[in-house]
Amino acid sequence: MNKNKKAGINKLYSKDPLKADQILWGRQSHRVSRRGFLKNSGLMAMSTALGMAIPFSRFMPAGLIPAAFAAESSPLEIEGKEGLIVLNDRPLNAETPAHLLDDDITPNRYMFIRNNGIPPINVNPDTWSLEISGESVERPTSFSIAELKQNFEEVTLQLQLECGGNGRSEFTPAASGNQWTLGAVGCPTFTGVRLRDVLNYCGVLSDAEYVGYYGADTHISGDASRDPISRGVPIGKALERESLIAWQMNGEDIPPQNGYPLRMVCAGWPGSVSGKWLNRIVVRNQVHDGEKMAAPSYSVPINSVAPGSRVPNEDMRTIESMPVKSLVTFPQSGITHDIRERLVVRGHAWAGDNQVSGVFISIDFGATWLPSAVQPASNRLAWQNWQSWVQFPEPGYYEIWARAMDDRGRSQPMVVPGWNPRGYLNNACHRVAVQVV
């Protein structure tokens, strides 16, 4: 199937997945049960499109586009980045295909890019300064990067960052914003100093409630009076041992598009709280009121809403810890596999501020699940690597689904979770297609 047809199918499903089922495969979706819709002519139509039989078709949920038909975009060249897919070029936003995230530690070249403004140019780290100020700081102070290195303990941690809108493209009806699939995530190492050490040196007053950041990036309008983004975290999150002011990623200078020469890193929460091109931190005696702190930015409805609903800002809450999620990084979706051999399956899983307690895989559209071996995290707030293998019972089209559970018993949903206006927090199971011959 060519890319134009793939794109057309994706567009059809994005408008109305159940109607797309009926149009493309003749699948009837009026029954309450989510399973067993694909029969007779519908099964023949989908099998013909895939070029092979679907052994577990009786378990295939309605309104779910086959993973084999996922639209693919050609990557554009970005200096220092290899194979990333550009979603927007002003500001620059680019995601990483899942199979390029197979490393235990995400290489710099594969770290996704999520920008709200235009990065600074001609940066001189020798003259860069970081100001610590705000209503709840006893001794406002400015530091050079050299002074940060000299005055505070240097630490290196592997920390997972994910855009709050990762997976937005799967919501129906479509939500506004960059249409991330699932590649706006990474887990490199960061080297720097603990944010709490710097804040304590400056003196955090007892009324401190929030920490906000400002960066040297400029608004896409060119208006110097406007901040492209200025978010932050509650004081408790800022004072965690894993919250850093970092100058290196994987032992090298942070890439220019990822925040060089200095960034804040508060892992486990939306990546938007980890400010890039960091030049000022404010300790507030109230919730920070910087750009993109107020709803609907990085906010979801307090209560469940019907898809397509308009939600008043006062009925929204700010996203904090991210939900449990997993990613299949091997095999690459769309491979052809020999039925005589078992197939190794591996990937990563993470759970915001929490730990992953298990990862399960399925080859029958979620009817049954098999446990995988999950490794412990290298440190708190790093993702966890997992691995398993499958043996396919007969030739045909299969999807491998991955489903993680955290240490509080919360599990990924099999399909896209509750709709929200901005398309945040999609932690549905990741699916990869395999043709078994």
> Nearest 5°: phi and psi at 332?
-70, 140
Q: How far apart are the first and last CA of the chain?
A: 18
Calculate the average pLDDT of the chain: 92
Domain extent listing, the chain: 3-46+57-69, 85-318, 325-436
Residue 214 near residue 275 (C-beta atoms within 8 A) = yes
Residue 54 has pLDDT above 70, yes or no: yes
CB neighbour burial string for 45-81, b if at least 16 within 10 angstroms, e if fewer: ebbebbebebbbbebbbbbbbbbbbbbeeebeebeeb
Position 30 scores a pLDDT of 42
Cα 83 to Cα 77: distance, rounded to the nearest angstrom: 8
Residue 229 has pLDDT above 70, yes or no: yes
pLDDT band at 52 (very low <50, low <70, confident <90, very high): confident
List all residues 6 or more positions away from 421 whose beta carbon is below 8 Å from its beta carbon: 175, 176, 296, 301, 309, 310, 311
What is residue 6's three-state secondary structure?
Answer: helix
Task: Give Rg (Cα) of the chain.
Answer: 23
Under a CB-based contact definition with an 8 Å cutoff, are residues 275 and 215 in contact?
Answer: yes
Q: 406 Cβ partners below 8 Å, 6+ apart?
A: 324, 351, 352, 354, 355, 356, 357
**Predicted pLDDT at 29:** 46
Residue reference for tokens 């997945």: 17
Q: How many residues does the chain have?
A: 437
Domain 325-436 annotated CATH 3.30.420.40: no
Please tell me which residue, 18 or 146, carries the higher pLDDT value: 146
pLDDT tens figures, 410-436: 999 998 999 999 999 999 999 999 999
Q: Taking residues 173-180, what's their average pLDDT?
A: 94
388-405 confidence digits (pLDDT tens): 999 999 999 999 999 999
Sequence-distant (≥ 6) Cβ neighbours of residue 120 within 8 angstroms: 216, 217, 218, 277
Q: What is the pLDDT of residue 43?
A: 74
Amino acid at 184: A
For domain 85-318, which CATH number applies: 3.90.420.10, 3.40.50.300, 1.10.10.10, 3.40.50.970? 3.90.420.10
DSSP codes, 81-127: B-SPEEEEETTEEEE--GGGG-SSS--GGG--EE-SSBPPSS--TTT
pLDDT at 73: 57
Residue 61 has pLDDT above 60, yes or no: yes
Worst-scoring range by mean pLDDT, 65-69, 310-314, 367-371, 395-399? Answer: 65-69
Q: What is the pLDDT of residues 143-157, one digit of tens each?
A: 999 999 999 999 999
Rounded distance between C-alpha atoms, residue 3 and residue 173, angstroms = 23
pLDDT in tens, 79-101: 889 899 999 988 999 999 999 99
Q: Which amino acid is at 205?
A: L
